[in-house]
Amino acid sequence: MRNLRIAALLLACLMIFMSCALASCSETGDTEVQTTAGPSQVVTDPPAETTVEDTTPVFPEANYSNETFTVISRSPSAASYPAFYIGTEEPTDVMSSAVYTRNVNTEEKYGIVIEQMISDKISTSVQNGVDSGMLDFDVILNQRNSLAELAMSGYLYNFNDLSIDYSNPWWDANCARDYEIDGKLYIMANDISVSNLAGARFFFFNKNLIKNYQLTSPHTYIQENNWTLENFLNLVNSVYTDDGDGERTGSDVYGLLMETGASNGNAIHMLVGCGIKFSSVDESGELSVDIDIEKIDKIFSDLSAVFNGQSCLTYTDASNGEDVSAFGNKYNFCRNLFAQDHFLFVQANMGVSYQMSDMTGEGYGIAPNPKYTADQESYYHKMDKLSNIWGIPNSTVLDYGMITNVMDYWAYESSLTVMPAYYDITIKTRRINDPYDTTMLDLIKSTICYDISEVFGIDVTTALWNGYSTNSLVSTWSSQSRAINKQITTFNADIGKLG
């Protein structure tokens, strides 16, 4: 269809060109075409033909005769990491129209019907389906740590066995690189789902509090290339106001709404922002851990000096005794407190930005995780291991040729429809009122880091968090590193046994 449109466009241009040429001849009185050159005539070469190059990628042709292509996923209404924008919906707004267009185009391309199967027991469904040989779904969209557990038990198919070029922009090339181990790639991100984009943590900051406390905006520090850990902590430490009751509750004003724990504790995300990598895959294709404990210990010391002070309050303490049922969980409740000017900073992801969209006054701003020092090469952002990503069941009853064709084309169509609608319209236009914040989102999107150790259950971040929370990093790491190395040895051996 696209080729027909291009051909029609070229034909129209040619007709316009010929009409203009005839009109020009009529105006000069030259109604007769000269076929020979006289002494005073100058012969020139005819104008070169102009062509419009068709850069539309070519996808294999196939027709699957109305076969259903089913995604099993979390619910779109799940309290955390819902599986948005997968199933076909009636076009009622920008996003549903984009989803509808993408799905219909893909269905027409391959003669399929796309369906979304909602389940709160996805891992069980995959295991039972593969074991019985009676799968009623083709691909999986679920939390990446859950998919990693399935992969280690042999229940997931290797994405590298699909004939797909993951360097194409509708796939995530960094994900393909960082999640590959021993030549195997069991979880993968592309533009079909916005979940991967919504999984990276960065900082929302309250512009009202910046103004009220007469503080330097993070945007100013960023523009001066001085958005560092030190300046971030100084800002956090500058904001605290008790509401008069003498108790530390969510009714006071704080510098940071603080999250704890090895998965998404602020201290863990700050390490990544400061350039710390938890693991890497060596040249032999095996996982290894080699981290700078001295640097981490210094970062933790700087964080503790502020995070353990009066200017920070945890989600648990802010929601203690409150009715959070209207918000789904304590995290949504507390982010609403941020929107009501009770916190200067909250570290969260794009997917929750709607919870701050109704802020009054100056609203919120967006800032990347601060660098360790100003001369750090780049900003860095950690992907939440609980965020959704794609997996494929490893089964003899699935048509992997169909999965290849549909997933690749579906992702391509999504890059033209759903992703622009979500990123450029829903996020950038509807939820952001400062053009500079859109550049921050682009920066964050381009600096996402993927760490395979955390997703596959290697306890690096757990050991680091234990060291941070007990203020005993060096001894904690020393006592737990042997167990971690044993985990890695077992992991490498188990990966090697998988097909």
Residue 60 lies in a domain: no
Are the beta carbons of 193 and 184 closer than 8 angstroms? Answer: no
Stretch 97-115: mean pLDDT, rounded?
Answer: 97
Give residue-wise pLDDT tens across range 351-399: 788 888 778 999 999 999 999 999 999 999 999 899 999 999 999 999 9
What is the percent of the chain with per-residue pLDDT over 70, rounded to a whole number? 89
Task: Examine residue 97 and state whether it is found in any structural domain, yes or no.
Answer: yes
How far is it, in rounded angstroms, from Cα 316 to Cα 361? Answer: 27
d(CA 97, CA 100): 5
Note whether residue 293 is domain-resident: yes
Contacts of 468 (CB under 8 A, 6+ apart): 265, 267, 300, 303, 304
**Strands lying side by side in the sheet with 67-73:** 112-118, 67-73, 139-143, 388-391
173 shares its domain with 308: no
Whether residue 490 is contained in a domain is answered as: no
Looking at the structure of the chain, the number of domains it has is: 2
75 in the same domain as 181:
yes
**Residue range 126-130: mean pLDDT, rounded:** 98
Confidence of residue 46 (pLDDT cuts 50, 70, 90): low
Residues 147 and 119 in one domain: yes
Report the distance separating Cα 359 and Cα 434, nearest Å: 13
Q: Residue range 202-225: average pLDDT?
A: 97
- Whether residue 28 lies inside any domain: the answer is no
Q: Are strands 312-314 and 253-258 parallel, antiparallel or unpaired?
A: parallel
Report the chain's mean pLDDT, rounded to a whole number: 89
Residues in CB range of 258: below 8 A, 6 or more apart:
266, 307, 312, 313, 314, 315
Question: Contact 193/114 with Cβ under 8 angstroms?
Answer: no
Distance CA 45, CA 432 (A): 55
Same domain, 242 and 369: yes
Nearest-CA neighbor of 281 among 352, 177, 204? 177
Query: Under a CB-based contact definition with an 8 Å cutoff, are residues 192 and 413 in contact?
Result: no
Q: Per the domain annotation, does 91 fall within a domain?
A: yes
Same domain, 378 and 411: no
**DSSP conformational letter for 217:** P
128 and 261 assigned to the same domain: no
pLDDT in tens, 420-473: 998 888 787 777 778 899 899 889 988 999 999 999 999 999 999 999 999 999
Q: In terms of domains, do 307 and 427 share one?
A: no
Residue 88 has pLDDT above 90, yes or no: no
Domain interval for residue 292: 201-382+458-484
Same domain for 285 and 226: yes
Name the amino acid, one letter, at 438.
T
Are 248 and 160 part of one and the same domain? no
Beta-carbon contacts of residue 430 (< 8 Å; ≥ 6 apart) = 357
Q: Cα torsion for 223, 348, 411, 413, to the nearest 10°?
A: -70
Q: Give CA–CA dist 308/304, Å, rounded.
A: 5
Return the structure tokens found at 119.
Answer: 């389940």
* Closest C-alpha to 80, from 248, 199, 185, 205: 199
Reduced to 3 states, what is the DSSP secondary structure of residue 440?
helix
Q: What is the CATH number of the domain that holds 209?
A: 3.40.190.10
What is 108-145 written as a DSSP string? HHHTEEEEEEE-S-HHHHHHHHHHHT----SEEEEEHH
DSSP codes of every residue in 321-347: T---GGGSSHHHHHHHHHHTTSEEEEE
332 and 261 part of one domain = yes
For residue 304, what are its two tokens? 């503790």
Q: Are 222 and 427 in contact (CB under 8 A)?
A: no
Helical ranges in 133-194 per DSSP H: 144-152, 173-178
Q: What are phi and psi of 277, to 5 degrees?
A: -105, 135
Same domain? For 307 and 345 the reply is yes
Question: Are 312 and 190 in a shared domain?
Answer: no
Whole-structure pTM value: 0.83
